[in-house]
Amino acid sequence: AYPDGSYVIRKDSYTDENSGISHIYVRQVVNGLEVADGNINLNIRNGQVLSYGNSFFEGSIKYSLLSTPNWHQAVYCSEPSTSPRDPACGGVLKHLQAISYQFDLSMFQESPLLAAYVFMQVAHPDPTSLVSSFASLKTKFQACTDPLGEGTSCDDWLVTGFSGGTKDIHARKVYVQTPGVDGSTNLNLAWRLEVALLDNHYKAYISVNDPTKIISVVDWVVDAPAPDSDGWLSTLQRHVFVQLQEAFSSQDPVDVGCSTNVSPDTHTSTQTAGKYCVWKWGINDPESGERTLEVVPKDRRASPLGWHSVPAENDPIGVNPGLKKGAIVNYTTTVGNNAIAQENWAGGDDWINNGRPDGGSDLVFDFPYGADPSEPGWEKVEPRQYRNATITQLFYVANMYHDLLYLYGFDEVSGNFQQHNFGKGAAEGDAIIVDAQDSRGFNNAYFMTPPDGQHGRCRMYIWNEAKPFRDGGLDAGILIHELSHGLSTRLTGGSQNSNCLRTGEAGGMGEGWSDFIATTVRSTSTYKDYPIGAWAANTRLGIRHFPYSTNTTINPSLYSLLQRIDYQEVHAIGEVWAEILYVVSNKLIDKHGFADSLFPSSESEFYRFVERKDGALTKVPKHGNTLMLQLIVNGMKAQPCNPTFMQARDAIIAADQTLTNGENKCTLWSAFASRGLGTDAKKVSFSIFPSIDGFEVPPDCK
């Protein structure tokens, strides 16, 4: 039924060890070229297809391979619904049109040179610094390294010659689907460009036949915006930041560490365990608790070598290049198999040579903070003075989160972030790079998620909403929010496709999952309403419209809020999804109780075993909050690329069916329906009422 019936099974397909479900990812191929957005995901157990998603092109190739793209930037800008102030239009569009008059476009259909030049002219923050002349740009053909395997043309080109710190641009011919008239879909031949800039990592699709026409752009970087601003740089802020760097770089905070403040549940230290003076896991920020000396990791399943050791062949820094394969490199700084943390006061792309605290041979990371109001002189302590404490905190939280998610199924085969995968499959060499006190801005944070095998990158910024300024890296909610983008992006649509949470509701849900998990981590058995970013932003209500609450007076969010103009931005969409998840989670807690820790204390206390229809036993978390986290992870694995709210809802309910034989079906439906996502909820044209509330549940739940 599909054009020439061609496809490839992607190499990131895998079988989930606990659920027994195989997640198969398929990419469509037409005329030997992949259809970049032609995906099928299949969820199979015991030979039965449990669910699937499908975005294959289904039209006729004969009438759909257009010589000129029917959808591109100019078409978007001409639509009545597009604001004349849209940054994609106006001067940018005129600039592209001017470029089109300078070149014979027919000369560049077999070369990505002009496509790369055109895109950089509108994407780079300072295009005048890029090239001395167009003639200085070069292309180079590369041998096939296609991650999809055999069966697709993998002509891969490099475009070189850009200056201004820009990396070489990778280019490949692909097809991309675009909307046609009367709801039809067309295929357009495009150059897919991978463009890595300092603050963005783009996958751009530029017409092969007319390289001045931009068809689509995806950014692998997601930002958490600042309150009442765009969360980006300003000349004044950068100038002030530089002055602060010079002003307090030589000062030291009062030396108040953790030496006499040891966590009561600390385990006995082992050779690969470190001691970290931190706000322990579950304490959201400096106002929510005291620092203690934590001895971790406590569970070797997720981190067999501990947090500071890597095999020599997977060493991210490369300090001992002469070591034989199999030798273990033991770091005494914040470098390890799961995360690599350092300061980034230069604000650049470099991380290998940036400063890190050293815990010595005993791995004791106990560094002063000094900015607590209980400490003398705290009001004069600025973030750079306690940078070692911050880097330690980032390293600790990132590793704790890695270990937690591993126990819930975000492991090697599903695409987690590790330098070494211990022979368990999938791509490796991609520990998360976490930057403390990044100087490129204030009141922000970001996470960049490339495909499996490439480092995730997290940048944490200082916030200037209080005096002294506060370090966003010490607000665990913000950090876990950012790290969760890596989870949701790698699991949705497969770990080799980072484009599956980038459109409409899908992009918003990426933000929503991040808020929800950050809230879940800090939740206690005593119910509370929770804001996001309240400490960093120095505002009681945080940086969202409402705190997360089951009380509709405090948080009235419904699915239909997505109709509103002020809820079209991804973080606002995410607020609605996170609130719905928070309500669902609390319904499960009402039914199953609350676990004081998301980490298993013992298998018998934490899990129960449910017999599947095939007779196999599946581990199921006993309590409502832990069960919800498991359903979130399993649902992400099963949902289609770029899901809607309703598809993500269905994936969670289906995850409960495969995990518990559906014992929570009616609880889940009731909770979703209470916020407008019932069986009769509707999503229609974005031009008129994009989301309509539905409060109905299935007949067998009434």
- Check the annotation: does 481 bind a ligand: yes
Residue 75 CB neighbours (<10 A): 15
DSSP state letter for 307: S
Say if residues 412 and 318 touch (Cβ distance below 8 Å): no
Tell me the C-alpha distance between 436 and 439, whole Å: 9
- Check the annotation: does 223 bind a ligand: yes
Tell me the C-alpha distance between 652 and 672, whole Å: 11
Tell me whether strands 6-9 and 22-30 are parallel, antiparallel or unpaired. Answer: antiparallel
CA distances from 607 to 98, 219, 334, 592 (A): 64, 39, 33, 12
Long-range contacts of 21-29 (CB under 8 A, 24+ apart): 21/45, 21/50, 21/637, 21/638, 21/658, 23/414, 23/494, 23/637, 23/638, 25/493, 25/494, 25/496, 25/497, 27/148, 27/152, 28/2, 28/56, 28/57, 29/4, 29/151, 29/152
Tell me the C-alpha distance between 697 and 669, whole Å: 6
- Check the annotation: does 452 bind a ligand: no
Which one of 343, 412, 482, 579 is the catalytic residue?
482
β partners of residue 610: 618
Residue 408 CB neighbours (<10 A): 18
- Check the annotation: does 579 bind a ligand: no
User: Helix H segments across 471-558?
Assistant: 476-491, 504-522, 534-537
Residue at token pair 């040579």: 353
**If DSSP codes are grouped into helix, strand and coil, which group holds residue 205?**
strand
Catalytic-residue membership of 17: no
φ/ψ of 134, rounded to 5, equals -60, -30
Tell me whether strands 457-463 and 432-442 are parallel, antiparallel or unpaired. Answer: parallel
Binding residues: 223, 481, 485, 511
Binding residues for Zn(2+): 223, 481, 485, 511
Which positions are catalytic? 482
